[in-house]
Amino acid sequence: GAVVSQHPSWVICKSGTSVKIECRSLDFQATTMFWYRQFPKQSLMLMATSNEGSKATYEQGVEKDKFLINHASLTLSTLTVTSAHPEDSSFYICSAFMGGGEQYFGPGTRLTVT
Amino acid sequence: QKEVEQNSGPLSVPEGAIASLNCTYSDRGSQSFFWYRQYSGKSPELIMSIYSNGDKEDGRFTAQLNKASQYVSLLIRDSQPSDSATYLCAVGSGNTGKLIFGQGTTLQVKP
């Protein structure tokens, strides 16, 4: 149990375009989903907390107009990177929180902006 | 600011040995503690959770928690080369599910 999927697993896009990443909890309902970014050889950086039916809460320094988060249902959250630039190239990972304390991570999406 | 500290390593152990990974945290009110394993290029995988003082064993893994000392550890017995990865210590923050992660300790198990 506790399976989280992400789509796509990798994406290459041109500078200035937007990219949408989906995160789904497959076998449970997630009250909260989290979005992280990870650069090579660095730890996870929390970007935002997403609750179903409400606006996401962004961490300090994360541009909410650039990283749009929509939590449409208890099993789906999406992250849209708008007007992507090469410095946005990173490994984006979502996680789902069941309410019992544990977070389960999706497999991640590797974004490359050219 | 709430912090979680880990030695970045690398920690190198021979195959079959016990690997000991340590973590300290700053928020004395923390109630939930987790160990994640992350292979290079992959996302983190939950391997242990612990909520009360003492030891919790799951197969070759043992998590140890000492809230008075604000210390969490993970022991890996009979280490295998496949255990080579980065191990992330995470501490729960409040009831939101939010986790505070340490920087991770890289473990190398040499055949």
| Tokens linked to B43 | 């996302």
Question: What percent of chain B is helix, strand and coil (3-state, nearest 5)?
Answer: 5, 55, 45
Q: Do B43 and A107 touch (CB under 8 A)?
A: yes
Q: Rounded to an integer, what distance in angstroms lies between the CA atom of residue B53 and that of residue B60? A: 19
The whole-number average pLDDT for the span A82-88 is 96
**Closest among A1, A89, A82, A79 to A38, alpha carbons compared:** A89
Band (A111; pLDDT cuts 50, 70, 90):
very high
Q: If you search the block for the tokens 């999927």, which residue do you land on?
A: A5
**A34 touching B (Cβ < 8 Å):** yes
**B37 touching A (Cβ < 8 Å):** no
What value does the mean pLDDT of chain A take? 92
| Tokens linked to A62 | 């994360």
**Residue at B21: amino acid letter:** L
Q: Which residues does chain B have with pLDDT short of 50?
A: none
pLDDT at residue A1 in the model: 61
Q: Do A31 and B98 touch (CB under 8 A)?
A: no
Band (A98; pLDDT cuts 50, 70, 90):
confident
In this predicted model, what pLDDT tens digit does every residue of A41-65 receive, in sequence order? Answer: 888 999 999 988 888 999 999 999 9
Q: If you search the block for the tokens 């099993």, which residue do you land on?
A: A75
Closest Cα of chain B to A83: distance in Å? 25
Q: Tell which of B36, B43, B48 to mutate to test the A interface (max A CBs under 10 Å).
A: B43
Measured between beta carbons, the chain B residues lying within 8 angstroms of A47 are none
Instruction: Provide the number of CB pairs (under 8 Å) joining chain A to chain B.
Output: 48
